[in-house]
Structure 1
Amino acid sequence: MRVVVMEDYQRAVERLRCFSDVTDHEIVVHAARPTTVAERAAQIGDAEALVLIRERTPIDSSLLDRVPDLRLICQTGRGMPHIDLTACTERGIVVCSGGGSSYAPAELTLALILASSRRIVEDAVALRSGTWQSTIGVELNGKTLGIVGYGAIGALVARYGVALGMHVLAWGREGSLARARADGHEPERELGSLFTRADVVSLQLKLSPETRGIVTRPHLAAMKPDALLVNTARAGLIEPGALDAALRAGRPGRAAIDVFDDEPAIEDPILHHPSVLATPHLGYVTWETYESYFAEAFAQLDAFAAGAPIGVANPEPRTRP
């Protein structure tokens, strides 16, 4: 099959171990990030299959109309808000989704908590400029960690918090609260109470119509002035404009953010807020995760070519001859 990998701007794919194992397909990897539909279509060309790196490349009807040879899209990771599944199904394009590791985003969450609490980035930058001990950090031992969404990632973050000597509060659905209780953590049924009590709040919810904007201005305003908000999940969980307003008002005192409404987020004003530690959506960006993502995507290519697609996400997929 003729296969295109889109937006590998880190030039990682061809360095993966699993890439050298692919021998039955003609794969072209594009590093450049196209900004228009025409540019995306030009990169895809006459490809029969497309491999996407997470949510970097939007796929809609206007693009699909320009690439009539496309028969398969392999989506690395589970999230697909950027893909119009209906448009794909109507055109007989099979969409396959992948899995992912909970450890990479959980470890980044821990890194952001530690870096923000001990002001590591500020002091590292200051030291290179000749300033010795420019900040004073805070200890996490004995503090309260509030986790919004106790799924696989949230459970790992809770374990890391316990290892640091933190008391863990967990908010979520009844099943999530039951799992948190079984793991030895305190279930918190009121989201507002969690924001009031916690010294560190970590958002670990999936973004859905029900959870979009679930973190409101009153929630943030209720946080302690020295509290830290960490978001490695999705920017849309927070009410638009609420975080910037809250930080300007001094509650919470700090935020660590890995996700943004529009990515790549180069001009987002929150990047320049003095109380924010921002990273460029690194939650999934590890060699281990990339190996897993692309090994699964390449297996999907083989299965599709053999006439037995796996990991199909279309509600009622139809394949073209």
Structure 2
Amino acid sequence: MRIHILDDWFETLPDLPGFSLLDGHGVTVWTDHISDEATLAERLKDAEALVLFRERTHVTRSLLERLPALRLIAQRGAFPHVDVAACSDHNVLLCSGKGGDEPNVAAAELTFTLMLAALRDLPGQMASAKAGLWQNGVGRTAKGLTIGLYGYGRIARLVAHYARAFGMSVVWWASPEGCEKARGDGEVVADSREAFFAESDVVSLHLRLTPETKGAITADDLGLMKPDSVLINTARAGLIAPGALKAALDAGRPGRAAVDVFDQEPLTDPNDPLLSHPRLIATPHIGFVTEQEFESQFGEIYEQIIAYVAGAPINMVNPQVWSRRLYGL
């Protein structure tokens, strides 16, 4: 198959062992991000299969109309960036695996790393040392603090494990179903949403971005946080209401934020008001960017392509496309 891999910004995948699963296919790896749909369509005009790098490129109906050779889109995880109905209308099969039962360890590790960096102001201390000024302020110890985890998923539960190893208390907030499950597991759930934000020293977001959760974290929520508290977001920027995080940092509640995700990605403007905010620690959406995680995620994606070529597709989101093809409809 003629396979195009999109948005591998650092051309990481060809150097990993799992890439050999695509031997025998014509593979093109694109290392930049194209927002202009006409330009993107011209690049992909001969593509029979697309491999999507998370949610970096949106697959719209108008894009699909420009790709007559396309037969398969392979990815992993949620797919709010893909117009599934349009895929079905254009006989493009979407395959998306959910991974195994293991949590995304890389994302959990980065969450905890950002928390420690914020509590100790590591970026500020490093800049001070490199400037010959030596120490710059006093940090906080994690032990004895309360971390509030919003969302009762696998990554959040792994972060809770790390937090307890550091001597932190853990409190939860989630959907009604998530809160009920947490209580059933013997976890501490906040008395109310307001108490969750007001009493946590660290709040870390671990929700999927869906129409229901978009903008779920409001300016009022952030305004309840302590002046010396920290907000961590390694999930999705869209969970926070537009403009609310910058306004909250301007107001000093929370005192600091550490984020791995932004509304616009890649964000390359160093003067962006949020990115350049003095109370913000930022990483460029690297929560899943480790060799081990790439091998796991993309190995599963490559297996979807192999299964499709073998005539036995797996992880089909719109199986009616395959049924039509199978029966010549």
In structure 2, what is the equivalent of residue 85 of structure 1?
84
Alignment pair present for 1:291 and 2:295: yes
SS of structure 1 residue aligned to 2:198: helix
1:137 aligned counterpart, secondary structure? coil
Distance 1:130 1:244 in 2: 30
Contact 1:200/1:229 (<8 A) preserved: yes
Shift of 1:309: 0.9
From the superposition, tell whether residues 117 and 235 of structure 1 become closer, same or farther in structure 2 (CA, over 3 Å): same
Specify the alignment match of 2:307 in structure 1: 303
Aligned to 1:21: 21
- Alpha-carbon distance in 2 for matches of 1:315, 1:225: 51
Find the counterpart in structure 2 of residue 55 from structure 1: 55
Deviation per CA, 1:185-212, whole angstroms, max 9, x where unpaired?
Answer: 3112522210011000000011112211
- Is the 1:172–1:189 Cα contact (8 Å) retained in structure 2? no
Encode CA deviations 1:58-102: one digit per residue, 9 max, x unaligned: 111221111100000001x31211111111110000001133542
Matched, 1:314 2:314: no
Alignment-mate amino acid for residue 19 of structure 1: F
In structure 1, stretches of 5+ residues that fail to align are none
Q: Conserved in 2, the CA contact under 8 Å of 1:204 and 1:232?
A: yes
Structure 1 stretch 161-170 or stretch 96-105: which is displaced more?
96-105
SS class of match (2:157)? helix
How far the C-alpha of 1:184 sits from its partner, in A, is 4.6
How far 1:173 moved relative to its partner? Answer: 3.1
Query: So what's the TM-score if we normalise by structure 2?
Result: 0.93
Asked if structure 2 preserves the Cα contact closer than 8 Å seen for 1:30 and 1:43, the reply is no
Contact 1:95–1:314 (CA under 8 A) maintained in structure 2: yes
**Distance in 2 between residues matched to 1:174 and 1:247, nearest whole Å:** 29
The corresponding residue for 2:162 is 160
Report the Cα distance in structure 1 between the residues aligned to 2:93 and 2:130, rounded to whole angstroms: 51
Return the TM-score normalized by structure 1: 0.95
Which residue matches 1:187?
Answer: 189
Does residue 279 of the first structure (1) align with residue 283 of the second (2)? yes
Task: Report the equivalent of 1:95.
Answer: 94
Q: CA deviation at 1:288?
A: 0.9
Distance 1:264 1:53 in 2: 13
Q: Which amino acid aligns with 1:219?
A: D
Q: How many Å apart are 1:182 and its aligned residue?
A: 5.2
Aligned to 1:205: 207
> How many residue pairs get matched?
320
- What amino acid is aligned across from residue 259 of structure 2 in structure 1? I
Q: Percent same amino acid at aligned positions?
A: 46
Deviations 1:90-141 (A, max 9, x none): 0000001133542111111000000110111111122122121112110111
